[in-house]
Amino acid sequence: MLLTPLPDPLFEPFDLVATRKVSLDSLVAFESHHYSVPFPFTGRHVEIHGCAESVEVLHETQIIAVHPRHTKEPLVIDPRHYEGCSTERVQAPMPLGRLGRRMLELAAEPVAHRSIDYYAALAEVAR
């Protein structure tokens, strides 16, 4: 009798498992947080593994998203999950415009280093 090959990558040990339906905004709820999932999985059921340091989202035994676990932020998003072409089932989200891209750039700056110039730049972009 032959053994089957191990999955690649190997599953990380996990202490909590949940099944969730991916919402219309490509998010799944797990442990009081919302995690992004690649948009083609919108409306599908996924399995979520709560690992020691990460949250793994699987669809039919394939890992489709990995996020850090126990973050301060209640919303954890990977912008790459919203990129790509439409599928037969799901239309691709509209790409960010100039304002959205600039807001992401400004938000990436550490909060402790923001000055009044930050808010002036934000207001300038919104015009």
Q: pLDDT tens, 57-87?
A: 999 989 999 999 999 999 999 999 999 999 9
**Mean pLDDT score across all residues of the chain:** 89
Q: pLDDT tens, 101-110?
A: 888 888 888 7
pTM for the full predicted model:
0.74
Partners of 119 in beta bridges: none
Cα dihedral 46, 66, 24, 45, rounded to 10, equals: 0
- Average confidence (pLDDT) over 25-42: 96
What residue ranges define each of the domains in the chain, with the CATH number in brackets?
14-88 (2.40.50), 96-127 (no CATH)
* Residue 48 · residue 57 · CB < 8 Å: yes
Q: How confident is the model at residue 2 (pLDDT cuts 50, 70, 90)?
A: confident
| Residue 43 to residue 72: CA distance in whole angstroms | 27
- Average confidence (pLDDT) over 7-36: 91
In this predicted structure, the answer to whether residue 112 has a pLDDT above a threshold of 70 is no
